[in-house]
């Protein structure tokens, strides 16, 4: 198992198996309680399928719902008593986060620019806002 897992990590992903002999992973959605008597209890506390949102039928409504969820996710993660920032990985997702943050922060937070050439135009558009 170890040799195969080192070649292809997906073999252990989503399972209790891990690379260390005698250990198991705690899967997502589960919690572990260890009592004073050393009793170990694992229970599921979250099941995503029980919390699926209602998806609107019309495409335009789906886009609007996604936009609202995405902006709210960015907004609630910006609560801070210290300056905030974000890292740009070079992908569209991190640029979307930065653009969304600029809606809530004025002026846009200081940005350490280490962008790829193709990103510079997008960064300038966001920073001009």
Mean pLDDT by runs of 10 across the 129 residues of the chain is: 66 80 90 93 95 94 95 89 75 81 70 61 69
> For residue 12, what pLDDT is reported?
75
- For 100, counting Cβ atoms within 10 Å of its Cβ (0-12 exposed, 13-18 middle, 19+ buried), the class is buried
Q: Which of 119, 114, 111 is nearest to 93 (CA)?
A: 119
- The pTM of the full predicted model, rounded to 2 decimals, is 0.55
* pLDDT one-digit tens code per residue, 34-58: 999 999 999 999 999 999 989 999 9
> For residue 30, what pLDDT is reported?
96
E strand segments, 24-66: 30-34, 40-44
> For residue 126, what pLDDT is reported?
67
Q: What angle do CA 84, 88, 89 make, to 5 degrees?
A: 140
> For residue 50, what pLDDT is reported?
95
> For residue 94, what pLDDT is reported?
78
> For residue 58, what pLDDT is reported?
98
């Amino acid at each position: 198992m170890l040799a195969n897992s080192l070649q292809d990590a997906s073999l252990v992903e989503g399972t209790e198996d891990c690379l260390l002999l005698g250990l198991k992973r705690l899967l997502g959605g589960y919690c572990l309680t260890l009592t004073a008597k050393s009793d170990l209890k694992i229970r599921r506390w979250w099941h995503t399928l029980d919390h699926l949102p209602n998806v609107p039928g019309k495409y335009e409504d789906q886009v609007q719902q996604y936009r609202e969820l995405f902006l709210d996710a960015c907004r609630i993660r910006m609560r801070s008593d210290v300056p905030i920032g974000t890292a740009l990985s070079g992908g569209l997702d991190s640029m979307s986060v930065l653009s969304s943050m600029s809606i809530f922060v004025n002026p846009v937070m200081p940005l350490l620019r280490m962008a790829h050439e193709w990103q510079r135009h997008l960064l300038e558009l966001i920073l001009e806002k």
